[in-house]
A and B are shown apart, each in its own frame.
Chain A
Amino acid sequence: MDYTEKVMDHFLNPRNIRKIEDANAIAEVGNATCGDIIKLYLKITPEGVIEDISFQTFGCGAAIATSSMTTEMVKGKTLDEALALTREQVADELGGLPANKMHCSNLAADALHKAIKEYKAKNGLK
């Protein structure tokens, strides 16, 4: 299966690629051996809303597209809404991913969960 038009759009014109300098939640997942590393930067308001989110990604077309899509899907959402986001929803929103990309390259939701859980733990939130 080839990449969908939507994957190609997010790959060629990735949204939210930058480093948020005053981010208050950051998480990185993946490793270079597998060929994918995704790092998310979040700015979370005291009310628990994702005010801003950005990413840096080392990886293939699917890794970049899923990172970009994830940031779009959770911007403005509450932490609990963002925690409910799954890898499958990200892939569905992109019109699907090739089977071999579902696990190795679709890591942005994992990075998001990691960032939020660490943020919650640090701030004594449940």
Chain B
Amino acid sequence: MGHRIYLDNSATTPVRKEVLDEIMPFLTENGGNPSSRHLEGRIAKTAFEKARDKVALAINADPKEIFFNSCATEGNNMVLRGYISGLRGSIRKNHIITTSVEHPSVYNTAKTLEKDGYEVTFLPVDTKGNLDLEVLKSSIKENTGLISVMMVNNETGNIFPVSEIAKIAKEKNILFHVDAVQAIGKIPVDVKKIGCDFLTISAHKFYGLKGAGAIYVKWGKWVAPMMTGGHQEKSRRPGTENIVGVVGMGKAIELAVSELETDMKHVADIRDHLEKRVLSELPYTRVVGDPANRVPTITNISFRFIEGESIQLKLDNDGIAVSTGSACSSGTLEPSHVITAMNVDPEEAHSSIRFSLGKYTTMEDIDYTVEKVKKIVEQLRSFSPIYDKFISEQK
């Protein structure tokens, strides 16, 4: 593949060496099913439960509150659809509140439930992508049963005030779900401090394997299972345990939490350097989101007058992986619903690029990237009709 600079760590992270070492025995000598009673099964079961302990410890939960699954999309569906299914047709608590900037696994699930006749409120955000809690409070109705808000936005890195929302929900006796997928390893995630009832995480966002996720379900709370089958995960998520993915997740979350402070100091330094250089060396660029309220791993920058997919493709050709909120790369015809919800002008929405850095990103990677970005942006602007028009009007 040649030398690559990977700046798409919010999409997924590479599997780290320590995780690989941890899972190796379960890919080679031990192929037991954790549900079997023989030695192979018992070894797998012990490792599986040890991973559950690690996940629980990392988010300050009890191991019996952790339910493993395949990914965050499944986790978010388990909570939203499981909640609705648990109503068994009752209309007493059939109103869900979420935000207009959730990940598609919450956003599109909520949209589908809305089509199915359930009531859903999508809270707006301001131009910086932040929520107004007064609007949340006024959206609560007699029949509100569930609030679902992400802890960290995947496109801007904005942090949402989940503990404050939990207090509001608790006062009104409403269940509260937090999608914490983008938060693990970036900011402390403590289910007791947050005060949530449900929380979703996914291993491949913190150097674990793809195909392993979990939800936290507070002891005493319940959502109806989406699948029926065996006894695994107390029948709430039946199916043969993903021993490799879960063992890897245990190791990955343990390391992500213990290294959080060092990693995030490093990432904040290089992210700030990237932003400072791009914003000062290229005109008509700005940070999309709220620079004062976000995780250190993400910067979303708009490059006016040019389109995001063409920037992303050219960077890819130069060995740099980033992602864009532009419509043209997503397969849909609309720009990102997150950027659009922030009331960003469509032309600018098409021009946004998300750089998401990780623990292995270096200062040299950043400087190389800035040089390439400058060249590409200048070249694309040189034949942009919008830029041409803008410049002639300035004269």
Query: Which residues of A come within 8 Å of B, CB atoms?
Result: 3, 8, 11-12, 14, 17-19, 28, 32-39, 55-64, 100-101, 104-105
The one of A12, A39, A60, A61 that contacts B385, using a Cβ cutoff of 8 Å: A39
CB atoms of A56 and B317 under 8 A apart: no
Q: Which residues of B contact A36 (CB under 8 A)?
A: 307, 328
**By the criterion CB–CB under 8 Å, are B350 and A32 in contact?**
yes
A32-B346, A35-B350 given; A59·B383 CB < 8 A: no
The minimal Cβ–Cβ distance linking A92 to chain B, given in whole angstroms, is 21
8 tightest A-B CB contacts, nearest first: A60-B328, A32-B347, A60-B309, A56-B385, A39-B385, A17-B383, A33-B346, A35-B350
Residues of B within 8 A of A3 (CB): 313
Interface string of B311-346 (1 = CB under 8 A from A): 001100100000000111101010100000000011
Asked if residues B329 and A60 are in contact (CB atoms below 8 Å), the reply is: yes
Interface residues of B in 371-395 (CB under 8 A from A): 382-388
B346 and A59 contacting across the interface, CB-CB below 8 Å: no
Is the beta-carbon distance between A104 and B384 smaller than 8 angstroms? Answer: no
Q: A32-B347, A35-B327, A35-B350 are in contact. Are A61 and B309 (CB under 8 A)?
A: yes
The yes or no answer to B67 lying at the interface (CB within 8 A) is no
**Chain A: which residue is nearest B335 at the CB level?**
A35
B355 interface residue, CB < 8 Å from A? no
Asked if B253 is at the interface (CB within 8 A of a chain A CB), the reply is: no
Q: Name, among B309, B329, B382, the residue most crowded by chain A CB atoms within 10 Å (CB to CB).
A: B309
Instruction: Offer 20 A-B interface pairs, CB within 8 angstroms, sorted by A.
Output: A17-B383, A19-B388, A28-B385, A32-B386, A34-B333, A35-B335, A37-B385, A55-B383, A56-B388, A58-B306, A58-B347, A58-B384, A58-B386, A59-B307, A59-B328, A60-B326, A60-B329, A64-B310, A100-B333, A101-B328
- The answer on a CB contact under 8 Å between A104 and B307 is no
Asked if residues B383 and A61 are in contact (CB atoms below 8 Å), the reply is no
B207 close to chain A: CB less than 8 A: no
In the docked arrangement, what's the CA distance between A15 and B291, Å?
39
- Residues in A with CB closer than 8 Å to B314 are 12
The answer to whether the Cβ of B305 comes within 8 Å of any Cβ in the partner chain is yes
Given contacts A35-B307, A35-B335, A104-B328, whether A57 and B384 have CB atoms under 8 Å apart is yes
User: Considering the chains assembled together, what is the distance between the CA atoms of A55 and B387 in angstroms?
Assistant: 13
Question: How many residues on chain B are close to A (CB under 8 Å)?
Answer: 26
A3, A37, A55 — which one has the most chain B CB atoms within 10 A of its CB? A37
Q: How far is the CA of A32 from the CA of B328 in the complex (A)?
A: 12
- Chain A nearest CB: distance from B177 CB in Å? 33
A35 to B383 CA separation, bound complex (whole angstroms): 15
- In contact, B388 and A60 (Cβ under 8 angstroms): no
Chain A nearest Cβ from B261, distance in angstroms: 40
CB contacts under 8 Å to A, within B277-306, are 305-306
Q: List the B side residues contacting A64 at CB < 8 Å.
A: 310
A101→B313 CA distance, assembly (Å)? 15
Contact B385 A58 (CB under 8 A): yes
CB distance A58 to B307 under 8 Å?
Answer: yes
| Chain A residue with Cβ nearest B333 | A104
CB contacts (< 8 Å) of A32 on chain B: these are 345-347, 350, 386
B329–A37 CB distance below 8 A: no
For residue A56, which residues in chain B have a CB less than 8 angstroms away from its CB? 383-385, 388
Chain B residues contacting A101 (CB-CB under 8 Å) are 328
Which of B305, B313, B327 has a CB less than 8 Å from the CB of A61?
B313
Contacting pair B328 A58 (CB below 8 A): no
Bound-complex Cα distance A89 to B350 (A): 27
Contacts of B306 in A (CB 8 A): 58
Q: Which residues of B contact A39 (CB under 8 A)?
A: 385
A19 CB to closest chain B CB, in angstroms?
Answer: 7
- A3-B312 Cα distance, complex, nearest whole Å: 14
Chain B residue at minimal CB-CB distance from A101? B328
Q: In the complex, what residues of A have CB within 8 A of residue B335's CB?
A: 35
Q: Is the CB of A57 within 8 A of B313?
A: no
CA distance A99 to B30 in the complex (A): 45
- Residues of B within 8 Å of A33, CB to CB, are 346-347
What CA separation (Å) do A122 and B89 show in the bound complex?
A: 67
Docked pose: A73 CA to B385 CA in angstroms? 21
